[in-house]
Amino acid sequence: MSRITGAREFYGRRFLVDPHALDPRPDTESLIEGALELVERNGWRKRPLELLDLGTGTGCILITLLAELPQATGLGTDISSGALALAAANARRLGVADRTSFIAGDWLEAIAGEFDLILANPPYLAASEIAPLSKEVAEFDPRRALDGGRDGLDAYRRIAARAGQVLAPTGRILVEIGATRAEAVAGILRGAGLRLDEAQGIRPDLAGRPRSVMAGM
Ligand SMILES: C[S@@+](CC[C@H](N)C(=O)[O-])C[C@H]1O[C@@H](n2cnc3c(N)ncnc32)[C@H](O)[C@@H]1O
């Protein structure tokens, strides 16, 4: 339906959608809740936070957080220039364009800086999981938004390998995961020298399934 109307509601806001980007999923709202809980817990709401959203797609994660956190600024990246154009249009429509930049890139390869919060909902389906997907998903979402390589974990490995270089000392990385991959993703982050948060290391969604992993230095 969203492909016909050209828009999708996410965390109470309407985002333009098109074939260049993943149609935002309700599951991903749990990443927003995790990020906002972290901000409250650490007393960061009034701080000028620097956010980085890897694989921004429609921009739904970054733009929502910038709208919720008026002191924050953010950088969104994607390998798809079509997705970046869509995300920039969404940032303008939702009134956060003056605090947002977008650049094309391959995960963290060209990123420099110190970010308080790195967010990512990377492609996390294994090759064998893509073929049987419903027609709706397989036909409308771009393959590079879904395909996580042989075991679905390629993007996590790439991101984890460089995350420590761009995290502020008190910064956190928060990644969405497929429900069966919590331990695997936690292991990748630990293997890259990051520490899982005690309270929020592996976070469940509203249905009680593991949905995101948070770690820091
Ligand atoms: C699962 S989608 C998530 C989109 C959006 N963040 C969301 O949550 O709805 C993954 C995104 O990662 C992007 N992507 C895939 N490979 C990438 C790479 N090597 N570097 C940067 N972004 C990439 C895709 O183009 C896609 O927009």
pLDDT at 20 over 90: yes
Q: What is the pLDDT of residues 157-178, one digit of tens each?
A: 999 999 999 999 999 999 999 9
pLDDT at 134 over 80: no
Calculate mean pLDDT across residues 24-28: 95
d(CA 186, CA 214): 8
- Bridge partners of 73, per DSSP, are 50
pLDDT band at 136 (very low <50, low <70, confident <90, very high): low
Per-residue model confidence (pLDDT) at position 127: 83
Q: Is the CB of 60 under 6 A from ligand 1?
A: yes
Per residue, the 3-state secondary structure of the chain, as one string, reads CHHHHCEEEECCEEEECCCCCCCCCHHHHHHHHHHHHHHHHCCCCCCCCEEEEECCCCCHHHHHHHHHCCCCEEEEEECCHHHHHHHHHHHHHCCCHHHEEEEECCCCCCCCCCEEEEEECCCCECHHHHCCCCHHHHHHCCHHHCECCCCCCHHHHHHHHHHHHHEEEEEEEEEECCHHHHHHHHHHHHHCCCEECCCCCEEECCCCCEEEEEEEC
What is the Å distance from ligand 1's center to 197 Cα?
A: 24
Q: Is the CB of 80 under 6 A from ligand 1?
A: yes
pLDDT band at 8 (very low <50, low <70, confident <90, very high): very high
Backbone angles phi, psi at 27, to 5 degrees: -55, -35
d(CA 167, CA 164): 5
Q: Is the CB of 174 under 6 A from ligand 1?
A: no
Average pLDDT, the chain: 94
What is the Å distance from ligand 1's center to 78 Cα?
A: 6
Q: Is the CB of 31 under 6 A from ligand 1?
A: no
Task: Give 89: exposed, middle or buried? Use CB within 10 Å, 0-12, 13-18, 19+.
Answer: middle
pLDDT at 138 over 70: no
Q: For ligand 1, what atom is nearest to the CA of residue 146? A: 1
d(CA 132, CA 128): 8
What is the Å distance from ligand 1's center to 141 Cα?
A: 11
Place of tokens 């936690």: 186
Per-residue model confidence (pLDDT) at position 4: 72
The single-letter code of the amino acid at 214 is M
Per-residue model confidence (pLDDT) at position 131: 76
d(CA 92, CA 132): 37
pLDDT band at 1 (very low <50, low <70, confident <90, very high): low
Q: What percent of the chain has pLDDT over 70?
A: 98
Domains and CATH numbers, the chain: 2-216 (3.40.50.150)
Q: For ligand 1, what atom is nearest to the CA of residue 31? A: 8
Q: What is the pTM of this model?
A: 0.96
